[in-house]
Amino acid sequence: MVLRNDAVPMPKEKITFKKASNGTEYVYYTLRAYRNKNGKPTSDEAAIGKKDPGTGMLIPNRRYYEIFHATDPSEIDKAAASAPQRVRSCGNVVALTEISKQTGLAEILRHCFPVNWDRILACAFYMVCEGNVMMYIEDWFEETRVGLTDWMDDIDCSRLFASITEEERLGFFKRWVKYRGEQEYIVYDVSSISTYSKNISIAEWGYNRDNDNLPQMNLGMYYGATSQMPVYYDLYSGSIPDKTYLEYMMATSKDLGILNVCFVMDRGFVMDENLTCIEGNGYSFITAMPGNMLEARRLIDENKSLVRKSANRIKDFDVYCIQRPFEMYGLNLQAHIYFSSEKQAFDEKELYARIEKLHDELEKISKSKRVTKRYRDYFTIDEKAQEALTFDLDTEKVDERLERAGFFVLISSDSKLTSGEVIRIYRDRDSIEKNFDEFKNRLDFKRMRTHWNKTTEGKMFVGFLALILRSQIRRLMKASPQTKHLTFEKVLIELRKIKSVTLADQREALVPLTKLQKTILAALAVPTEIIGN
């Protein structure tokens, strides 16, 4: 494209002027006006040239020609007649539409919700792009070429959420599990969701993981460890302990067809009732033993001199490991005892930081002559001193902890798994935990803003669909060497910049794609030719 400095007529609408220190007036064209997440008006602008001080006409730059689709002054009149009537973002929705097809999500929703599948999917797209505060969805429809359905506002969303029945949700989960058809390790995790509402029956007081002084609901969720894809979830009362609900989740999972899987859980689930429940239901498990657990300390102490040998090194994870059979809670299990030099350095630093903290506390409370057990784990304390207690570092106890620094124990009920397979499977749950964190913080489900049972349950279901889409995008981006360094937010920003321009004659034109946008679309397997369609 050859650019010229010939002055052209100044556009009559959607322009602002910004004067530079040298007196030059630059002209900006408003691509879209909208409200940000705080509800404040803002806009996206593009510089299209500068104002000719003598004639008041526009001296255009390259961006002007891209927006107005003119290539030289002889076409200016034609461009003016075809000036943009509406500029909307389209990249995010096109990419999400393709992702919903790739995952099978669109087809399953079409079957399970024949009347409202398109509106449900549109709400899920909005949640991926903007979070779950539905009061701004009206603005999103105004600035985004959605295509799936007509304009919606937050009242439409509330009615839609309330219309989703429990039978429809279970029907979806059965088809979703069957469609995926993957026999993979299942990560099970639980989190809390707080609410201000007094009308949600399952919101009760209980242990709140986010330290919110609010009633809560508990959310139990299954993820595929390999696919990193959400599989199933259930909301239950905030006062029911996790261990009580685990057996119900397992019974429900069998009805859904989630069979022959191994549950991968964090150390918080290591207790008699949980592990015997899993075994009793015919499932296997992998979990980490808490470091302060007596059995874990015994396994480390008995085997620590044997672990750090060249024959036991697992190079892919830079750890050493030996495997030992043992019995716990009446179950025949496998203990995988690992040593990590990196963890050793971290543990040692953390140990001395804790000792220094306790030492400072003891100095402050020495006159009270009353201390708890946590101080005696590191210090010998004499409370019989006349004026104030005295204390000294218990080097023997500290040395015991130093000798265990760098060690950790994973246990498995499957004797066929090697130590390398066990640590790979367990570490895969880290990425799954990030998805759970994104569900609460990025999709904004840390606190529910609904006020009624049916609306809450329906909105949570749509949030689950949004999490499926988000998880697939993250997985594809991380799998590509060209995009693995990009954050999810950066991907959304770049896709949002892809604009569709509606001209006066109702033709639609696409603002040219940048190299980065093309790279992102390629990583997501979205053909660039469908963007403008």
pLDDT above 60: residue 201: no
Sign of the CA dihedral 76, 79, 80, 84? negative
pLDDT above 60: residue 72: no
pLDDT above 50: residue 415: yes
Q: What is the arithmetic mean of pLDDT over 267-283?
A: 83
Tell me whether strands 447-448 and 186-195 are parallel, antiparallel or unpaired. Answer: parallel
pLDDT tens across 221-267, in order? 888 877 778 888 887 665 556 566 677 777 777 788 887 677 888 88
| Cβ neighbours of residue 400 closer than 8 Å, sequence gap 6 or more | none
8 Å CB contact between 199 and 453: yes
Model confidence at 178, pLDDT cuts 50, 70, 90, reads confident
The phi and psi torsions of 447 (rounded to 5 degrees) equal -130, 135
Q: What is the arithmetic mean of pLDDT over 333-350?
A: 95
pLDDT at site 295: 93
Q: What is the arithmetic mean of pLDDT over 415-437?
A: 80
Beta strands in 38-106 (DSSP E): 41-51, 58-60, 84-89
pLDDT at site 202: 46
The amino acid occupying position 95 is A
Q: What is the arithmetic mean of pLDDT over 123-146?
A: 89
pLDDT above 50: residue 531: yes
Nearest to 403 by CA among 289, 290, 303, 287: 303
d(CA 304, CA 339): 8
| Cβ neighbours of residue 478 closer than 8 Å, sequence gap 6 or more | 484
d(CA 377, CA 297): 15
d(CA 366, CA 383): 9
pLDDT tens across 448-461, in order? 454 456 788 888 89
d(CA 96, CA 524): 9
Q: And the tokens for 5?
A: 């400095």
8 Å CB contact between 460 and 169: no
Sign of the CA dihedral 173, 174, 175, 178? positive
pLDDT at site 336: 97
For 4, other C-beta atoms within 10 Å of its C-beta total 12
8 Å CB contact between 334 and 412: yes
d(CA 428, CA 14): 50
Q: And the tokens for 28?
A: 């900006």
d(CA 229, CA 472): 7
User: Higher confidence at residue 342 or residue 280?
Assistant: 342
8 Å CB contact between 492 and 482: no
Nearest to 92 by CA among 498, 464, 487, 477: 498
Q: Tell how far CA 338 is from the center of its chain.
A: 29
Q: What is the arithmetic mean of pLDDT over 384-389?
A: 71
What is the pTM for the complete model shown? 0.69
pLDDT at site 203: 47
pLDDT at site 365: 80
With 0-12 / 13-18 / 19 or more C-beta atoms within 10 angstroms meaning exposed / middle / buried, residue 10 is middle
Q: And the tokens for 443?
A: 């999709």
Q: Mean pLDDT for the chain? A: 82
Nearest to 2 by CA among 50, 51, 71: 71
d(CA 451, CA 462): 16
pLDDT above 60: residue 77: no
